[in-house]
Structure 1
Amino acid sequence: MARVEADTFETFVPKGGFVCRKGEPVENWIGIIGGMVKMNNFSPSGKSVTFTGVPPGGWFGEGSLLKHEARKYDAMALRDSRIARMPAETFHWLLDSSLPFTRFLLMQLNERLGQFIGMVENDRLLDLNTRVARCLASMFHSHLYPGIEKLVHISQEEVGLLSGSSRQRANQALQVLEKHGLLRLDYGGIRVLDLEGLRRYQE
């Protein structure tokens, strides 16, 4: 813990800024202290696809560190964000010397795989209202995102980006979910009232 605290450093990334970019060398394991980060890519024509959003308490980038490869995606701040960066040397030292960290990382990779399988299924099989419900529910993951609170500080535009829809269509879906008593649209975010209901929701 002493080495991790000594080696890990914090940076600030303003809204719309890049936390990291596709193709660059992976020098750090990245954690979110405050704010929200989205992992996405752009096609040659400029079309954007968002893979997931990472709220406070979440870490990402371990796959590229383990494979010693260049980063496969961009990570952008959806709002002003405080970013923790653990150097690759410290990450690999932990992996070699700490059984609890190795176990944590194994669980992290397994849960991330399950998350992305679920996202593919949601995108191909579910209507948009259900995709928005599952998108919000996926942020309440005790292993991947331990720091999330019931009031999610996320805008309707950000929900649209994360669920693959426009802000207007995401707003309509949120209103449907609010009428079902699953959430409440509060000033500054979305308050989840029934997490299990969001996880089970299917119109």
Structure 2
Amino acid sequence: MAVIPPSPPLAPSHRPITPASEGDYRANRLFRHMAPDEIEALAPRIEHLHYGKGELIVQRLDESGGIHLLLKGALLANQYARSGREVGYRRIPAGSYFGEISAIDGLPRSANIVALEDVRLARLPQPLIRTLFERSPHFMRAILEDLASLTRSLTDRLFELNAVSVACRVDIELLRMATSAGGDGQQATIHPCPTHAELAVLVGSQREVVTRELNRLASLKIISQTGRTLRILNLPALADEIERIGGEA
């Protein structure tokens, strides 16, 4: 593959920070199939950004293009109904990315992206994305694999919203986050864990219902929480509990 020539620097959409203080964009899963020299060639055209907790990074129906790589922190993809009700689509952890759908079809953004804590991002501008679409089959392979995974995940969530109880949805979401956090198959640590209100948005419920279920799991010695750290003490027991109350682990 020909090395992508650098383009003139673009003005960042939000507060720029020094790339040296950033996490390594090269470790993002979007580049997992690309050769090191391909990834290195992107550096002059990547913008580094910082947002504080609660800030809106992308607004639904925005026409800004490009793909954002999350280097540090956590994000929430959401949307608000006219009634004001917040609907959460997914929590985006460090090492992931967003914006690929608009980058592919050129249409406005399909959801809001909000910082759940202080975050650092790297942005691939739309002209660079178009070049990668045309010249890098390894980049396209990662995009296609992740779109397939996202479709499966959203299908699962749609089923859960219509077929299982709120308590079961909470348990399933905890298992998802534990799997993403890694561990030894028996225990996992989620840090920073979402607030009860944030978790309620993700499972389509109210904070009080989520609190009750977390307290129940704590009483069973399946989880424990200290501050923003949530520990899954017994992953097999959590999976068994999901099966017991009507879901699929």
* Aligned partner (choices 213, 223, 226) of residue 186 of structure 1: 226
* CA–CA separation in structure 2 for the residues paired with 1:197 and 1:63: 37
Question: Unmatched 5+ residue regions in structure 2?
Answer: 1-38, 183-187
User: Counterparts of 2:238 and 2:114 in 1: how far apart (Å)?
Assistant: 26
Asked whether the 8 Å contact 1:51–1:162 carries over to 2, the reply is yes
Report the CA distance between 1:27 and its aligned residue.
Answer: 1.8
Matched, 1:66 2:100: no
Contact 1:30-1:83 at 8 Å conserved across structures: yes
Report if aligned partners of 1:26, 1:65 keep a CA contact under 8 Å in 2.
no
Alpha-carbon offset, residue 140 of structure 1: 5.1
Deviation (angstroms), 1:175: 2.1
- Taking a change above 3 Å as real, the CA distance of residues 8 and 178 of structure 1, as seen in their structure-2 partners, is farther
Tell me the distance in 1 between the aligned counterparts of 2:169 and 2:140.
Answer: 32
Which protein has the bigger strand share? Answer: 1
Matched pairs, number: 199
Distance 2:239 2:68 in 1: 27
User: SS where residue 42 of structure 2 aligns?
Assistant: helix
Q: TM-score, normalised by structure 2?
A: 0.72
Identity %: 22
Query: How many angstroms apart in 1 are the aligned matches of 2:237 and 2:96?
Result: 23
Contact 1:40 1:75 in 2 (8 A): yes
**Which amino acid is the alignment partner of residue 113 of structure 1?**
T
Higher gyration radius (CA): 2
Cα displacement (A) at 1:150: 2.9
Residue 139 (structure 1) aligned with residue 172 (structure 2): no
Using the size of structure 1 for normalisation, the TM-score is 0.86
Q: 2:192 — aligned with what?
A: 153
Q: Secondary structure at the match of 2:146?
A: helix
| Structure 1: tracts of 5 or more residues without a match | none
What is aligned with 1:6? 44
How much has 1:60 moved relative to structure 2?
A: 1.5
Listed as ranges, the matches of 1:93-104 within 5 Å are 93-104=131-142
Residue pair 1:55, 1:139 contacting (<8 A) in 2 also: no
The Cα of 1:28 is off from its aligned counterpart by: 1.7
Aligned with residue 209 of structure 2, among 144, 165, 169: 169
